[in-house]
Amino acid sequence: APAPTPDAAEAQNLADLRAQLAACENCPLHRDATQTVCGAGPTNARLMIVAEQPGDQEDLAGAPLVGPAGRVFDEALRRVGCARDDIYVTNAVKHFKFTLKGKRRIHAKPSAGEIDICSWWLRREVELVRPKIIVAMGASALRGLTGETLPVRESRGKLIELAEGRRLLTTTHPAYLLRLQDEQEKRLAWRAFLDDLAQAAQLAA
Ligand code: URA
């Protein structure tokens, strides 16, 4: 991995981090994206949610999880009775990666290398927010947080103990719920997603 942005180590708060992140050129993804999308939420949030990377709408809005996957996430929060305002929401990768299909920008999966380079920023967010519990939504988030590629199928619903009494819970990415076609499969996946978010909310309380 390349050296982090030199003055980023100095960031003492999220506002500084956001400003430094805006200038990040640590990997080539900054070239085609509109802007970096930093995490959003209270500095002292007890629950941190990590998704994959901004999509088309997030790239334009400069805010995480505001597009279709974000709407699934919001619906899930509503169903477990959790306020988004209390949560710090961020992504493993801070720039939108896409391929062009005509004029449409189609989400492209970030590589392990891109996730690893960007994990430097994610770690700083964790250090500044100091959440009690972190939820990794999907394999990219899990890689960003652990440095390992682990199958979500085997990790979901399980708690991992991190430093400083912090815990990590893995769940599926909301976009996965959107893709499922089979009704039965979809119902089970929704149930599991809601169970995971409810568990995380309870552990954050
Ligand atoms: N998908 C993500 O993983 N994060 C976003 O912010 C939007 C879509």
Q: Is residue 21 part of a domain?
A: no
Low-confidence ranges of the chain (pLDDT < 70): 1-9
Res 11: pLDDT: 84
Q: Best mutation site among 58, 73, 179 for ligand 1, i.e. most ligand atoms within 8 A of its Cβ?
A: 58
Q: Is residue 16 part of a domain?
A: no
Q: How far apart are CA 5 and CA 16, in angstroms?
A: 13
What's the gap in Å between 17 CA and the centre of ligand 1? 20
Q: Is residue 124 part of a domain?
A: yes
Q: Give ligand 1 pocket residues (Cβ under 6 A).
A: 51-55, 58, 64-65, 67, 69-70, 91, 175
Res 132: pLDDT: 98
What's the gap in Å between 143 CA and the centre of ligand 1? 15
CATH of the domain at 176: 3.40.470.10
ipTM of the complex: 0.91
Res 26: pLDDT: 94
Atom of ligand 1 nearest to the CA of 173: 3
Q: In this structure, are residues 116 and 149 in contact, taking their beta carbons and an 8 Å threshold?
A: no
Q: Is residue 116 part of a domain?
A: yes
Res 2: pLDDT: 55
Number of domains in the chain: 1
Q: How far apart are CA 30 and CA 118, in angstroms?
A: 11
The model's pLDDT over 80-116, given as tens digits with 9 standing for 90+, comes to: 999 999 999 999 999 999 999 999 999 999 999 999 9
Question: For helices 112-129 and 139-146, what crossing angle results, to 10°?
Answer: 70
Q: What residue owns the CA closest to ligand 1's atom 3?
A: 52
What's the gap in Å between 90 CA and the centre of ligand 1? 8
Domain containing 145: what range?
Answer: 26-204
Q: Is residue 86 part of a domain?
A: yes
